[in-house]
Amino acid sequence: MAHLRRPLQQALAFNTVVLVVEILGGISANSLSLVMDGVHNLSDELAIAFLVVAYTRTTGISSGWLRAANLLNSVGLLGVCGWLTWRALGRLVQPIVVLGWVPIIAGVIGAACNWAVAWVLRSPSRENPSIRLAYVHNLGDTFVSLVPVLAGVLTLLTRNMVVDPLLSLVIAVIIVVSTVPVVLGSHRELLWPERVICGGPPAARR
C-alpha cells in the first residue's frame, strides 16, 4: 500500500493550489461561483489529506481515517453545497458587484490543477474505492472549474451581476448529480473500508 502514498501526496499538493487560488480569488472578487468551486475543493482537500494519513500510518491502513475521508468527500460536500445554494439564492435577490476577470484567471488555474489531481490518481483509483471516489470528483472538477470562467466572461460582457450566482447554482447541481450516484453505488465500501482492505466482508472470510 506504500506505493499509493506518493500519488496521494501529489494530488494533495495540486488540490491545495486550487483551494487557495479559488477561495482567495472568490472572496476578493465577490464571486460566489468561484467560492462554490473552492469550497467544493475544500471537501476534496480534507478527504485526500485523510487518505494520505491513512496510507502513511506505520501500523497499516486505518479504516477510521478512510471512513472519515469518504464521508467528507460525499456527505460533507453535499451539506456545504446546500448552504452555498442558499447564499446564491440570496445573491439573486440582492446582487453585488463581481470582478469578472478574477474568476476567469482563477478558474483556469483550478481546471488545470484539478486535471493534474485526476491524472496522478487515475492508476491508484483502480485499486481502492476511496481513491476512486476522489479520482471521480477531481475528474469532474476539471470541467466544473471552468464554470467560474464562464461566469467571469459573461459578467464582463453583460455587466449583469446575477450571472455569477446563477452559475454558482449550476455548480451546485453538478456537485449533487456527480456525488450522489457514486455514494449510492459504493456505499458499503465507503462506509466499511476495512472489509475491502481485508479482502471482503466477514462472511466471505469464514
Q: Tell me: the pLDDT tens digits for 52-106?
A: 887 776 555 556 666 666 666 666 677 777 878 888 888 898 889 999 999 999 9
Whether the CA torsion 94, 100, 105, 111 is positive or negative: it is positive
pTM, two decimal places: 0.74
What CA–CA distance (Å, rounded) separates 98 from 12?
29
Q: Which of 68-82, 96-110, 115-129, 183-197 has the lowest mean pLDDT?
A: 183-197
- Please name the residue that has the C-alpha cell 466499511: 192
The domain limits of the chain are 2-199
Quick one: pLDDT at residue 183?
Answer: 62
Quick one: pLDDT at residue 65?
Answer: 61
Ramachandran angles phi, psi of 153, nearest 5°:
-60, -50
- Please name the residue that has the C-alpha cell 491524472: 119
The better pLDDT of the pair 186, 134 is held by 134
Cα 4 from chain centroid (whole Å)? 19
